[in-house]
Structure 1
Amino acid sequence: MSLKSFQFQLANLRPWLTLFAVVWLLGSFGLGWLVNSLLIIVGLIFLVPIIGFFGFRWWLQRNVITDKCPACGFEFPGLKNTQLQCPNCGEVLSVQDEHFQRVAPEGTIDVKAVEIPTNLLE
């Protein structure tokens, strides 16, 4: 083993040895609370996104439903207890009892009035 390869191996270990020395010195001076708080912060940085991801998936499974539009039969997802518009036909719907229902009363027919110009015969 040559001196250059030994120096190269020490260069790779230098950051870890420095970290170990700093932690050991802080612990010996009674600053263990600082090290503990830093470890807790690092642990929270890794745990909070994981817990948030699984919490959001749980919330989505409980609050997103997929049903067919009662007007045109197009199937799409929606959130419970909200009003939304069908992306296919534009019908305004509400989500109740895990099914889409029209906001307009049953039997209502939506009509758009179109003005037809009259031409005079001469």
Structure 2
Amino acid sequence: MTAARILAVAVDCHQPDLLAEFWAAAIGNGKTRTWTDSHGTVYRQVDFEDGPALLFQPVPEDKAGKNRLHLDLAPVERDQRAEVERLVMLGAKVLDDPADDPWVVLADPEGNEFCVLPPR
């Protein structure tokens, strides 16, 4: 029996619109929507056909240090190098490309780290 399921991964950020558009394009099959909580905070959310949503919530603080949680992506329609190039064209930045490991570390437009692995 499943005790719970992940509905969304929340990301603190300065520019929810920018990150929602980046991640919707990066993953591909997402639909973005905007909603407001009872305190007037406006969120951007990307809902996907499969898997949890990505929720971008505005915060005043800057990102400090390495993420404690990050996403690992695997391309569906291209090889790893082509996927990294596509993500860079969308606004990501390559942070590390270790020769001895199968992943490439990138950062989204606000500096949140994520990895791209070979196709599965």
Same fold (TM over 0.5): no
Structure having greater relative contact order (Cα 8 Å, sep ≥ 6): 2
Rg comparison, structure with higher value? 1
Bin for the TM-score computed over the shorter chain = under 0.3
When you count helix as a share of all residues, which structure comes out higher?
1
- Using the size of structure 2 for normalisation, the TM-score is 0.20
